[in-house]
Amino acid sequence: MLGAGAASLAGMSRETQNRRIAVLGAAGRMGATAVEAVQAAESLELVAVADPQAAGQSLHGLAMGAGVEDLLAASPQVVIDFTVAKAARINLPVLANAGVHAVVGTSGLNDEDFVSFAEVFNQSACLVVPNFALGAVLMMRFAEMAAPWFDTAEIIEFHHDAKIDAPSGTAMATVDRMAAASADWAEDPTEVEVLPGARGGLGPADIRVHAVRMRGMVAHQEVLLGATGQSLSIRHDTTDRSSFMPGMVLAAQQVEGTGLTVGLDALLGI
C-alpha cells in the first residue's frame, strides 16, 4: 500500500498557499514542535490545537481542545495528526467526513489502516508520512534503487527509549519498498539462534529488521546491503526533532486532492 493514492498528489500545485492549520496531539513532543513550526511558517495560520492530555490549557493564545471535534469548530483546511495509532483510527474518518485534509505523522499504522483511509477520504486528501525528515525520504528512495543490485539486506533502526512501537514506521516503509523493488534475496544462513530474536524481525521478502531503543537516541536508520565482494551502507541520522519540520510544513502547504498517499516522494518529485 506504500504508493497508494500517489496520483491524488500528481497534479498538485508547487505554489505555497495560505492554509488554516490545526494540530492534534499538540501537547506531545512532536506535536509541540509542529505547533512552533506552523507558527513560524508565513503561509500557514494556526487556528486550533487539541490534546486530551492538556485540554483547557492555553497555547499561543488558543484554548487546547480535547479532541478532533474541537478542531473542526475552527474550520481548519488541514489537520496535522501527531497522536497514536489508536486515536488516528478514530480521528481520521471524522476529518474525511468533514472534507478536511489530513497530514499524519502518527506511527504504528498498518496496511489495513491504509485501506480504510483510502476508502473514506473521497472529499479530501490524507497524506501519511512515516518520516518527515527530507534526508530520511531520500534514504528510503536510495535503498529502493539499490535493492535489485544486491543479494542480501538488513535494516537497523535506532530510536529514543520512549518510542512504544517497533519496528518504526520508517523501517517498515523502507523494507516494503525494497521488497517491492526485488524479491530475489539470498536465504538466511543462520541454523542456530542462540537467543530468540537475535536475528531481528522477518519483514517482507524475508528482509531482517532490527530495532534498538536507547536513551540518547532520537531517530536513526541504517540500511545494509551486501553482494559478493562488496557492501553498501545507507544511513540517516536525526539529531533534533526540528529536522522533521521542513517536510511537515511542505506537506501542510501542498496536500491537495482526494484519497490516500503514503510518503513525501510525490511532493519531492522522486
Spot the catalytic one: 60, 86, 160, 163.
163
Helix (H) or strand (E) holding 161: none
Active-site annotation holds for 163: yes
Written in H, E and C, the secondary structure of 50-106 is ECCCCCCCEECCEECECCHHHHHCCCCCEEEECCCHHHHHHHHHHHHHHCCEEEECC
Spot the catalytic one: 101, 159, 210, 236.
159
Report the alpha-carbon distance of residue 43 to residue 19 in Å, rounded. Answer: 6
Report the alpha-carbon distance of residue 144 to residue 175 in Å, rounded. Answer: 8
Active-site annotation holds for 86: no
Question: Which is it for the CA torsion 161, 172, 84, 166, positive or negative?
Answer: negative
Helix (H) or strand (E) holding 112: helix 111-120
Give Cβ neighbours of residue 195 (< 8 Å, ≥ 6 apart). Answer: none
Amino acid at the residue 76: P
Question: Which is it for the CA torsion 167, 169, 174, 179, positive or negative?
Answer: positive
Amino acid at the residue 210: H
Q: Helices marked H in 129-217 — which ranges?
A: 134-146, 169-181
CA dihedral defined by 64, 69, 53, 253, rounded to 10 degrees?
-70
Q: Could you say which DSSP state residue 254 is in?
A: H
* Active site residues per annotation: 159, 163
